[in-house]
């Protein structure tokens, strides 16, 4: 039996409507993906500009250290094992020079290179480029499994925002650099930090004018300050919980208290990392020492006393 005139009209209208929906869905997905790629392109350009700033800063830091007769082997070891330390070393050396304390001997003593370090095959300029990648490799992971759809659903269903995002991140933004690479690079440091297997050591205390005993005392005082703060904070949280009847506030207090317990459990046996984790939770104590006491600043900036990156928590970023 045929559809008849009205049946054919209705079927035609239905198919025409589906075709129009398909066209609109494709346009929506294309426009949204283009906007995501436009955003990633702009962030990629900004990332390149930021990296170029730090490359220039590293170049100038290396030039300065070379002018003060620090040997290329020491410079190459730093650029290979802990590029950020080059910036701190140059800054500390300049401060020591301004105060009349810098000598070539002190500068060389401040850097200890492993006896078996092999790094003469690349120039400082080449190592600087390796230390400051424009982009890092991004991985969005596998797409979440899709609900099973029949043929018509696949043809006419609207793409989800998640699907569109994955499409954009899979595609090229700059040559072989994908959207996922740009996205990952947005949160990556423009200068690489310390390698896990690094054996190059820097003692900025030698440039600070303070001896090891003073720096050790400063570290111990910082430890004591955080011990006092931790006990007082835990007691305060328990008191606050007892005084409140608000469930939301109670939950927040529980989360804050548990965070402190987790740090004690996970890092309590390793003071080097333990106090760094407490600084991440409550930087104000160390920030005050860093701003007001040169010896404490030197200790916080010295990887012999605190982890690499500690000083960066308290430094005010200056535009170059």
> Do residues 207 and 110 lie in contact, with contact meaning Cβ atoms separated by under 8 Å?
yes
pLDDT of residue 268: 92
Final residue belonging to a domain, choices 148, 174, 201: 201
Together in a domain, 151 and 186: yes
Report DSSP state, residue 69: T
pTM for this structure?
0.59
> Do residues 176 and 64 lie in contact, with contact meaning Cβ atoms separated by under 8 Å?
no
Report DSSP state, residue 158: P
| Positive or negative torsion for Cα 294, 295, 301, 306 | negative
Final residue belonging to a domain, choices 178, 201, 224: 201
Residue 318 domain-assigned (yes or no): no
Structural domain count of the chain: 2
pLDDT of residue 298: 81
pLDDT of residue 143: 57
| Positive or negative torsion for Cα 317, 318, 319, 320 | negative
Together in a domain, 243 and 186: no
Together in a domain, 218 and 192: no
Q: Which domain holds residue 173?
A: 4-201
pLDDT of residue 231: 95
Together in a domain, 197 and 264: no
| Positive or negative torsion for Cα 67, 69, 71, 76 | negative
* pLDDT beneath 50, residues of the chain: 1, 5-15, 147-156, 317-320
pLDDT of residue 303: 79
The secondary element (H helix, E strand) that includes residue 178 is: strand 177-178
pLDDT in tens, 197-248: 888 888 777 776 656 778 889 999 999 999 999 999 999 999 998 888 888 8
Q: 45: how many CB neighbours lie within 10 A of its CB?
A: 13
Residue 320 domain-assigned (yes or no): no
Q: What is the CA radius of gyration of the chain?
A: 29
Give burial (CB, 10 Å; 0-12/13-18/19+) of 101. Answer: middle
Measured CA to CA, the distance from residue 83 to residue 70 in angstroms comes to: 15
pLDDT of residue 209: 62
Final residue belonging to a domain, choices 201, 222, 255: 201
Together in a domain, 122 and 14: yes
């Amino acid at each position: 039996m045929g559809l008849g005139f009205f049946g054919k009209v209705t079927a035609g209208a239905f198919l025409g409507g589906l075709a129009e929906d398909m066209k609109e869905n494709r346009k929506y997905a294309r426009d949204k993906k283009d906007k995501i790629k436009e955003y990633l392109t702009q962030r990629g350009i900004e990332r390149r500009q930021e990296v170029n700033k730090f490359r220039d800063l590293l170049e100038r830091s290396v030039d300065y250290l070379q002018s003060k007769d620090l040997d290329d082997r020491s410079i190459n070891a730093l650029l290979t094992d802990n590029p950020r330390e080059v910036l701190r070393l140059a800054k500390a050396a300049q401060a020591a020079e301004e105060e009349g304390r810098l000598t070539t001997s002190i500068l060389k003593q401040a850097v200890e290179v492993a006896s078996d370090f092999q790094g003469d095959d690349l120039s400082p300029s080449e190592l600087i480029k390796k230390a400051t990648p424009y982009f890092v490799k991004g991985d969005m992971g596998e797409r979440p499994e899709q609900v099973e759809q029949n043929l018509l659903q696949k043809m006419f269903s609207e793409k989800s925002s998640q699907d569109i995002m994955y499409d954009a991140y899979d595609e090229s933004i700059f040559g072989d650099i994908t959207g996922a690479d740009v996205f990952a690079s947005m949160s990556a440091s423009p200068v690489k930090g310390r390698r896990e297997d690094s054996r190059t050591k820097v003692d900025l205390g030698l440039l600070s004018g303070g001896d090891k005993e003073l720096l050790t005392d400063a570290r111990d005082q910082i430890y004591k300050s955080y011990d006092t703060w931790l006990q007082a904070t835990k007691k305060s949280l328990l008191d606050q919980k007892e005084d409140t009847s608000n469930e939301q506030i109670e939950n927040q207090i529980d989360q804050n208290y548990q965070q402190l317990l987790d740090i004690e459990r996970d890092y309590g046996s390793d003071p080097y990392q333990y106090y760094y984790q407490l600084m991440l939770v409550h930087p104000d104590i160390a920030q005050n020492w860093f701003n007001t006491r040169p010896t404490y600043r030197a200790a916080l900036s010295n990887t012999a006393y605190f982890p690499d990156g500690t000083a960066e928590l308290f430094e005010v970023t200056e535009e170059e």
